[in-house]
Amino acid sequence: MRRFSPLLLSGLLLSLSASACSTTPPETIRTAPTADAPPAIPVESGAAVMQASGRFPETFEQGGKGAYSEGDEQLGSGSWHFTEALIGSSDQDHKRGEHAARLRTRGRLRMNFDAPSGVRTIRISSAAYGQDAASIWELWGSVDGGRTFRRIGSPVQAKGPRLLTTTFQGTTPGPLRLEIRKTDSGSGRLNIDDIELETGSGAAVAGGVASVPAPTPAPRPSTSAPKPSTSQAPNQAPSLDNDNLGLGNPSGATANVSMSTNYLLVKPQFTIGYNALRGTPTWVSWHLTRTDIGSAPRQDDFRPDPALPREFYQVTRNSYSGSGFDKGHNCPSADRTRELDDNSATFLMTNMIPQAGNNNQRTWSSLEEWTRGQVQRGQEVYIIMGSYGKGGTGTAGFKTTIDNGHVTVPARVWKVLVILPEGSNDIQRIAAGQARLLAVDTPNDQTVSPDWSQYRTSIDAIEAATGLDLLSKIPLAAQDRLEAQVDTAPTR
């Protein structure tokens, strides 16, 4: 088990101020100050927010990102990664100055650089965008160059149009990297402004340039080795209800370019363990509820994934041309129809495999529709899908690879479904036997039966074939019991 700095282990003292509006410098009020804590420092407003490049506070005045699409943005403090977030400048953005960050759905803002050692006080201002409903956000920190993050302090509610300042206080002996996460599932949007980092002396902390984490070996699951003694893999955040990675990281994938066969891609819509040598995902994991299903039309905008490192081969929509195989979704288009951006994300080529037409359009389509039917009847579903082996048969015959060998055709396509009534404490309910578990493993060929139920198997069998650990966040005793089962309940 990886050990974290005292800052992240012990947490930081949290207070949420009752600040004045943006024309008056608000105060920050600590509810439980320590004896040696630095004094509260008013957050500057108006023209005073303009800072020299490369220093905090981060005011978002130097950024120009105007779309929610995922990407990096160079700000005054350094490079930041935006997920479901942009820099807003409208009258509805609550801000000091001309700009503030705006996050929607489960948006994130992450530093691509480390603040130097000695950070003791962190202040972040937030408000609800426009007249939107309240949002919940959390501050997470990394002391290992962004490889792993742990939550700092408690969740924060941003309610109403007034910017309120939250103060986090503690100590960090080494470099610190921060990520702000909007964690509620509501439709309200969130404004973030004026991120301050200070040392124990009260001095502002300088920013920095983007840094690349040092390579670390990713865990390699083995069918002969025992499962980890903890239900949480070492390179993932703690389990949260409705998290796309709620059942665990099946391969211990990490966002490390040296791990080209086990690269982690985290998106608001799903999470991927990607194999760049095969040109396909090893697995894709997502959570499905009624709120994910809306009226957004199918986008059909198949395209390379811009989040894939430049060192990796980029699969395009033309990679499948003339191959005799469908561009088969892992996370289906129809599972993400709440908003256009959600549906569009499913057409990234990192979410595709070369899939036999009959398998994709009949067998798999039927399974996907059945799953959404369960959701419409009040269930929520944790889903992991993947493929393994080499060689399948499409309309142009048997092939092992396409795109001049850059994309491997899998021999088998599998899926695990964990279905339970909508509710909370999902891991506990699953472990207590309150969920229905289905594992399906089909051949990737044209002769596959449309009846997916005849391909049901055990999770143990899929783990043995793939080397993955598919329910790693479930307590071990429950894993042993649940993974051995083969579902036989009605599917009609």
Q: Which residues are annotated as a binding site for Mg(2+)?
A: 360
The residue among 241, 238, 251 whose CA lies nearest residue 284 is: 251
DSSP secondary structure letter of residue 303: B
DSSP secondary structure letter of residue 8: H
For the question of residue 406 being annotated catalytic, the response is: no
Decide: residue 114, CB within 10 A, 0-12 exposed, 13-18 middle, 19+ buried: buried
3-state secondary structure of 180: strand
Task: Identify the residue whose tokens are 């700000």.
Answer: 75
Tell me how crowded residue 217 is: count the other CB atoms within 10 A of its CB.
Answer: 11
Task: Identify the residue whose tokens are 């992450």.
Answer: 110
CA dihedral sign of residues 122, 81, 332, 356 = negative
Distance between CA 189 and CA 193 in Å, rounded?
14
Distance between CA 137 and CA 181 in Å, rounded?
5
Distance between CA 354 and CA 222 in Å, rounded?
26
Distance between CA 445 and CA 427 in Å, rounded?
35
Q: Detail the DSSP E strand segments found in 200-270.
A: 263-266
The residue among 307, 407, 312, 421 whose CA lies nearest residue 355 is: 407
DSSP secondary structure letter of residue 341: H
Q: Which residues are annotated as a binding site?
A: 360
Identity of the amino acid at 21? C
Task: Tell me the H-state helices in 63-159.
Answer: none
Q: Which two tokens stand for residue 14?
A: 């949290």
Distance between CA 231 and CA 216 in Å, rounded?
21
The residue among 226, 261, 229, 266 whose CA lies nearest residue 249 is: 266
Q: Detail the DSSP E strand segments found in 129-211.
A: 135-142, 150-158, 164-169, 177-182, 190-199
Residue of 81, 94, 99, 329 marked active site: 329
3-state secondary structure of 362: helix
Distance between CA 48 and CA 172 in Å, rounded?
28
For the packed helices 459-466 and 476-483, what is the interaxial angle rounded to 10 degrees?
100
Q: Point out the residues that are catalytic.
A: 329
